[in-house]
Structure 1
Amino acid sequence: MTYETDSSAFLARLKQVGGEVEGMLESLLAAAPLPGEIARPARLLDAMRHGVLAGGKRLRPFLVVETARALGQTGEGPLRAGAAIELLHCYSLIHDDLPAMDDDDLRRGRPTVHKAFDEATAILAGDALLTLAFDVMGDLPTHPDGAIRAALCVGLARASGVGGMAGGQMLDLAAESAPAPLDAHAIERLQAMKTGALLRFSIDAGAIIGHATPHARASLSRCGGALGAAFQIADDILDAEGDEAKLGKRAGKDAARNKATYVSAFGLDQAKVARDRLVAQAEAAVDEAGLGESGDILRAAALFIAARTN
């Protein structure tokens, strides 16, 4: 039995890792200040916890943990690295939901942070989660080798900064008021930056911690790139035809805001073809990495992305 052919085994593992990540996030967002901190204001911490401890698949940390595990590395280090990426991801969601960005009222079936608290607190909660992510990634328990921790921090910065997620969000906002629709290349670049970069780095981080060979690391990075692109197209498809109750957020918002998506450019049918092509590319890249059966769970993750309903 493999993860690739048995979805129940994959979902059980996703749930198990998700529970471990949840426990790590709980501990990282505890009330007691860390050495060097003066105090953790209760309202700010409550807003951070609201934005992070709201469920979710924890796919990004799952990819870190399982890539490292496929390469023979387990324990607290991959879990902390995955939690750091999740903290940064949640910061981005809090800021994306703000009225000046996507102006969303719901996230994972609950009021967004700026609705549950206020806009200023939401901005500060995002800021604090962003900096906490680098605190966790750069701290000694994540990896004993300072060079590994430095590589993780640099990778996270480049995946989330001006040339990655933040830059992609800027391109996304600009596309809403562009005089003409973006072409295919521009949409692919936007999505590779806004969503794909952090998903790709999740696999890269596992490869760094797992001491992957240069060949394996390059193949796994290609897997992450294809997987990230497939994830965003799947998200666009869900927004166009998904059930709002299952999604836990407002459906149809992409079309309402004139978002540049694969669906808006090519239609649902072609978007599904592109999603499935990218999933196949991700699976092939795992084969190229030479992981054998150890890579089955990464192949299953690609299939899960294509089939998800929320």
Structure 2
Amino acid sequence: MLPSGAFVLVVIATVILHCNGAPTNCTITLQQYTTIQIGWTQQQVTQFLGSPGIIVLEVGTAGSPYQMISVQYSALQSSSATASFLFMGGSLYTKSQAGIDAGVYTITSQQYTMIQAGWTRDQVTNLCGSPGSAISESGTGNTASVSVMYTVSGTPYASVSFTFTGGQITSMFEVGLSPPVNDKITLLQYQTVQIGWSQQQVTQFLGGPGIIVLEVGTAGSPYQMISVQYSGQQSSAATASFLFMGGSLYTKSQAGMDTGVYTITSQQYKTIQPGWTRDQVTSLCGSPGSAISESGTGNTASVSVMYTVSGTPYAFASFTFTGGQITSMFEVGLK
């Protein structure tokens, strides 16, 4: 068994080995990070930065084209900011940074709504007034990919991210953007919107385009996916989401829009069996439950329905009906 203190010595020895004798040498500036290019060898990066950094991951046989080594450096001004470099077969495959770029790059909800898949980074930069913070990069030429992040003024936890592949946006999402006033929806409106409607139909019916929270694929492609979110008319904590595939509504879901009380008992849950229809469940429980998500049409139509349990706020039961019959069911907290 190692004597006390031996483990500390091993850790210190490892740090010294990887940092050329001084942990403070494992630092990097934004200019250095920006200069390093995908395809550089690990030796080139080490020589350029003056130290090999801290190896945080090493997988595979040395010299193998599939060997992966991930190396990390800290910012010169702040140790909480880091830059990471992933080498594949000795060449830089991906680089990423968190906090190294301390610039202020902001975006508004209106600007985000205007941006579309297929836009170039120059287009986004011109609209927003800044290029954003490049948080990760990989690939070269037509396969080059860069993820760019913007923050939202006045909302410290809100952010927007775009991924550009081959120079154009291939995916985009946001967290915490406040929806405009016209991006509100009532339960009746949510229930009226039908699977198969076009995105234009939904926008016209609801009076606003909603907030795009995800956009993947080429505009006009039958495989393009766009997820749009609205908030409840009475409470911004309630949301309705619509996922469009190739321009048509593929799935819709809601959380908190339906404020009805739909309860179930443990005995009722145990009575219900796969294959039951929704009418059978409704008759037994005395209510239809809250339809939290819907997709498909005809024989492939699927709806997930939730019930709560009286007196136990964290207990619930969920049923998925496909083609009108229960195909899956589960519960949480039922005694």
Which of the five TM-score ranges fits, normalised by the shorter chain? under 0.3
Structure of greater Rg: 2
Q: What TM-score, normalized by structure 2, do the two folds share? A: 0.24
Structure in which a larger fraction of residues adopt helix: 1
